Amino acid sequence: MPLPVRRHLFALGAAALAGALLLRFLPAARAAPAALAPPPATEAPVAPGGALETAVFAGGCFWGLQAVFQHVDGVTSAVSGYAGGSAASARYPLVSSGVTGHAEAVRVVYDPRRIRYGQLMQIFFSVAHDPTQLNRQGPDHGTQYRSAVFPTTPAQAQAARAYITQLDTARTFGQPLATSVETDKTFHAAEAYHQDYLARNPGDRYIVVNDLPKLDDLKRLFPAAWRDKPVLVGQR
């Protein structure tokens, strides 16, 4: 079975597998255009010296999440991986079972002189995923697809919690956010075949339906942050 079909089906039984395969090949509408969330009222301070900083986000399949941040100006690296579980279980077949504690995530390295952590969060909540969906994202279900922020510093944790509260208080999305803030968690890079997946497979049906609209929304809602040429893992 080719990888695009196998992508999210490891944990399914025979009957569920047959149904999931059927759904994969039925026509599907593109996602509705995203709406711009307000910028955070609280920003994480920049570390002295202007050194590169790291952020980790999770929100559904890491293929689209990685691609979004690869097209953000000021991002120097975006790597797909797993956050929230142990190193021993940070392997795709195990993570896909939904019992390892991991979430499919993306580690974003960025230049804070060009883009701030608050702007990355605004992009994450606006276009990278739907933060109101609990333990799912589009066609993908399970805790491994949860919406989560994995702060790498106490300042990021404070800023993320404040932003979630801000969005919930303003009812920006019409319902409470399902996004968790999970501290002291380690990120583990995913297998090579998951890296740069959208850039290498732009015609994949899953990508066309679920992820290319995110790039359209990024370019439309954040034109100043958009970069045409993505920063790819395979080019580093």
Question: Which residues are marked as active site?
Answer: 61
Nearest to 31 by CA among 173, 167, 137: 137
Question: What is the number of other CB atoms lying within 10 angstroms of the CB of residue 234?
Answer: 9
Q: β-strands 147-150, 180-181: how paired?
A: parallel
76, 236 Cβ separation under 8 angstroms = no
**Helix runs in 1-61, H state only:** 3-6, 14-25
E-assigned strands of the chain? 53-59, 75-83, 103-110, 136-137, 140-141, 147-150, 180-181, 187-189
Q: In DSSP terms, which residues pair with 150 in a beta bridge?
A: 56
Closest CA to 190 of 59, 75, 96: 96
Joined tokens for residue 46: 């920049």
Burial of 146 per CB tally in 10 Å (0-12, 13-18, 19+): buried
Q: The dihedral of CA 66, 106, 129, 167: what is its sign? A: negative
